Structure 1
């Protein structure tokens, strides 16, 4: 990323979190923090213990937002930050979409928004979305240790109580590290996972005799809740990412390295001439690249426009899956490579090379526009695949990725004509990715996929793909189950349309099995924490 720092200028230091505007290294918890910390742990356990994601994530998101507003002082820089209020809105919106659909995209949007919220509270002057999330994660990783260090033994206890308190605190960190390595080994080694599971089950049975209502797993879950809530309530100052971001500016400034001033020494005119010659060579290289690749890309776009844009119809036996998968990945890579080349040539003083700047900007603009045409061709490939083979997750992902590509190409044009820095492009595109994530959270994608794929015009129906979706899809399958008897091919692979072929009777039997399981699960679930509006609708339809 290019820096816009003028020679001799200094950037302001990162602003510490408003909750810790104090000179002490480890400030004590405030009354609000002492109240919110145990309340949050109890709420976390009540909402998420043995529950699915749904209304509980909305309630917890509201708790996090209210906690931050309570902990902020009345006059704070964070209240004037548009990014902070964007994260507040995203957190509530993501939680609301979890209460409506309970999808993975909604959960990701909600979690990302909460991390952004905590990051902007920690460092109000942050702008980069990734840096805000990393700041929040770094702060949360230290917050629970800060809370434990702040605990004190009872004042009126004896020497034995104080000694036990000291060693108890000392063992917390090794136990946490041991637990982290245990999880890693359990994932990597199935034999260790099986043996350790038996050992933990025996330990849990022993603890169950001592404490009938609390299991070992529940205790570990409470510990997780403490770590999460401590990261929400206690903001540990993290300056690394804010300090790094402060080095960059929105626009590129001309660099004049090596030029003497104040009469100290005479400028080296030979050095300046060499620098001008190097800049001219760089201009020639950039002009050659833009000129040659524009000609090549013009030929590719002409072929695509003539072949794909008007009246495309795959011939019998045409491998549409290979045509889309391989062609789409290669074209997307070429677009990203083109954007990287533009960023490279327009990174420094070539933006100020007046003899050829107009021609250079023109060639780069034509290249960017041609890449936009190439992106349209990628979208058409994906559209034809959906038209002939149905919808899948990756095909929806390609559509939203192309939206980001068009936005990214637009920001590249801003860089070319407004001398924007790479930092500016990263900031804008990170916000675009976040906006797309929120947009993905609004969709009931599984139901829409099922409704589209269950059309009589499709010669094959991927039953396995549809039955592996969440239970809220089952009412759609039940309403259109007659199509399963007339499909010429039923497969179990959602990506390339090949796989295990099953009969219509087998498909109906699998659907009945899934419907019975869903009805039993809905009837046995009486809590509200993991419910969603889509699940409520499916429950009513399956009655």
Structure 2
């Protein structure tokens, strides 16, 4: 279904004028009705009382296939590289969900699907964030659009048609009532307990009336309808596409504006004042780049001499504090530096010929020095991993630094090619999406466990490893002898940030209990919907038989 065939495609003013007229609700096509019924039934069958796994691959494949069924053969979106990126990303993340079932793969699935729906809604979009917001706006309206398009059967009596009319009319108040109920239940524990008893009684009454259907199942079925309607029905959302249409890839010289440090003068002196104001801004920028380059040179010289070659932690050095505090502060300084460069190169200073070359080289040296600083941050993170082991945050810092290096590279493009901030956001959003897909493809928990279970570490956080998904258990069993020889075994304590030391016997008991519980859960839930390849492989490695 081509969105441009439903709404005007002219200027935003024309769209606003068209929106002032009450639009006619377009009835669903036969393909939309069939896909809607199929999708709701599929969602309920795949996800009710199931975890995410293979079911995500099946449902996302359905959503991707639905777009190709509904899109005209010569739709503009079929020629968009962003659309095909979202298609590939959706299927790839869904496959990773069927393989590992990790939380980051689930996040990649959701983000990719929303991007896909956003690009279908507005084929000319480029920003990934705008595509996600466009899809969210369409998703919020699609189910209401479907309900407005439904009609009571023609052969039904007047009473049935009247009941149908008022039933649809009260959907909005009931939805608002549900939203406020959730807010009050979170804020007031007495109300939450009372409402829970009322809902439990209502659920028991529905259970007697309809033995196969519960209140929770009805709500879940409604959720499936809302999600499937958002996939099948495109409600055009032009807000973000109109905003993006105002942005350009490169900065244009603004002759009708003064610089940010400008003071308004009489008209006959306006031209001279603009040049003077631009010169003032150049002097400030040159001073900033010159001073911070000297300061950063000192910091980088210290880090290179201290961290880059032959770093050995001193006996009294708290490596955890050293890494955590230093890493976060340095990352913030890099982001601040990027923001300052974007600020000075946002307007006409890009065209100030008397000092443009000096300004560009000063900013370039600053960007390169920040890249050196990013390497120093990476070395801090590396030393922590080397001496203390792997953790989720350490992996996150590694990928964040990769994005930072990429972002610094795009800042150089802005400096030398007069790229706009929109261009940088577009490029960096694609980089973030690529990193998200890369994270979805990793079996990170297993790799963390294998790395941390090395004899050279004097302390093993067995509590942290046992809290990981079940696919880590074969690795723990393969290294269980290490639990008897490790100098120290720890587990998370009850208070935040603390830990307790446990004995080897307690660690072995916890490991055996975790294996038994996981195998029992796997055997008690034989449905294929929530299975993953990693869990199937783990079950067989633990000696289970299907």
TM-score bucket of the superposed structures, by smaller chain: over 0.9
**Matching residue of 2:361:** 362
Corresponding residue for residue 472 of structure 1: 471
Q: Is the 8 A contact 1:14 1:242 kept in 2?
A: no
Structure number with higher relative contact order (C-alpha < 8 Å, ≥ 6 residues apart): 1
Contact 1:127–1:427 (Cα < 8 Å) also in 2? yes
Shift of 1:498: 5.0
Whole-angstrom CA distance in 1 between matches of 2:516 and 2:427: 48
Residue of structure 2 equivalent to 1:327: 326
After TM superposition, give the deviation of residue 410 of structure 1 in Å. 0.2
Please report how far the alpha carbon of residue 507 of structure 1 lies from its aligned counterpart in structure 2 after TM superposition.
1.1
Alpha-carbon contact 1:14-1:243 (below 8 Å) kept? no
Q: How does 1:374-389 map to 2 (within 5 A)?
A: 374-389=373-388
With the length of structure 2 as denominator, give the TM-score of the two structures. Answer: 0.93
Aligned to 1:282: 281
1:321–1:385 contact (8 Å) kept in structure 2: yes
Q: 1:190 to 1:482 in 2, by over 3 A?
A: farther
Moved more, 190-199 or 420-429: 190-199
Matching residue of 2:244: 245
| 2:510 aligned with 1:510 | yes
CA drift of 1:414 comes to 0.0
Equivalent pair of 1:106/1:441 in contact (CA under 8 Å): yes
What residue in structure 2 maps to residue 5 of structure 1? none
Write out per-residue CA displacement over residues 432-475 of structure 1, whole angstroms, 9 at most, x where no aligned residue: 00000000000001111111101100000111111111111111
Task: Write the distance in 2 (CA, Å) between the matches of 1:527 and 1:180.
Answer: 33
Deviation sequence 1:363-390 (CA, Å, 0-9, x none): 0000000000000000000000000000
Which runs of 5 or more residues in structure 1 are unaligned?
Answer: 1-10, 17-22, 260-266
Q: List per-residue Cα deviations over 1:258-287 (Å, max 9, x = no partner).
A: 69xxxxxxx945110000000000000000
What is the Cα deviation at residue 329 of structure 1? 0.4
Alignment of 1:67-466 (within 5 A): 67-257=66-256, 268-466=267-465
Partners of 2:473 and 2:221 lie apart in 1 by 35
Cα distance, 1:199 vs. partner? 2.1
Distance in 1 between residues matched to 2:164 and 2:498, nearest whole Å: 63
Taking the aligned partners of 2:367 and 2:188, their CA distance within structure 1 comes to 49
Tell me the residue number matched to 1:519.
Answer: 519
**Mapped partners of 2:61, 2:414: distance in 1:** 39
| Alpha-carbon distance in 2 for matches of 1:540, 1:429 | 42
Deviates more, 1:309-318 or 1:334-343: 309-318
CA distance in 1, matches of 2:204, 2:356: 76
Q: State the match for 2:536 in structure 1.
A: 536
The runs of at least 4 aligned residues of structure 1 exceeding 6 Å deviation read 494-497
Residue 195 of structure 1: how far off its partner (Å): 3.2
Bigger shift: residues 483-492 or 515-524: 483-492
**1:58-81 C-alpha deviation (Å, 9 max, x unpaired):** 011110001000100111111111
Q: Which secondary structure state, in structure 2, belongs to the residue aligned with residue 96 of structure 1?
A: helix
Whole-angstrom CA distance in 2 between matches of 1:51 and 1:145: 27
Q: SS of 1:492's equivalent?
A: strand
CA 14–218 in structure 1, closer or farther in 2 if over 3 Å, else same: farther
CA contact (8 A) 1:391 1:452 kept: yes
The secondary structure found in structure 1 opposite 2:489 is: strand
Secondary structure of the structure 1 residue equivalent to 2:499 = coil
CA offsets, 1:79-113, max 9 Å, x none? Answer: 11110000000000010000000001100111100
* Contact kept? 1:447, 1:473, Cα under 8 Å: yes
Equivalent position SS for 1:490: strand
Q: Which residue of 1 aligns with 2:4?
A: none
TM-score normalised to structure 1 length = 0.93
d(CA) in 2 for partners of 1:39, 1:431: 33
Question: CA offset at residue 197 of structure 1?
Answer: 2.3
Whether the aligned pair in 2 keeps the contact of 1:14 and 1:125 (CA below 8 Å) is no
Structure 1 Cα separation of the partners of residues 82 and 481 of structure 2: 51
1:209–1:89: structure 2 CA closer, same or farther, 3 Å change rule? same
Map of 2:480 onto structure 1: 481
SS in 2 for 1:308: helix
Cα distance in 2 between the residues matched to 1:93 and 1:13: 36
Q: Give the distance between the partners of 1:28 and 1:78, measured in 2 at CA.
A: 23
Q: Distance in 2 between matches of 1:493 and 1:314?
A: 26
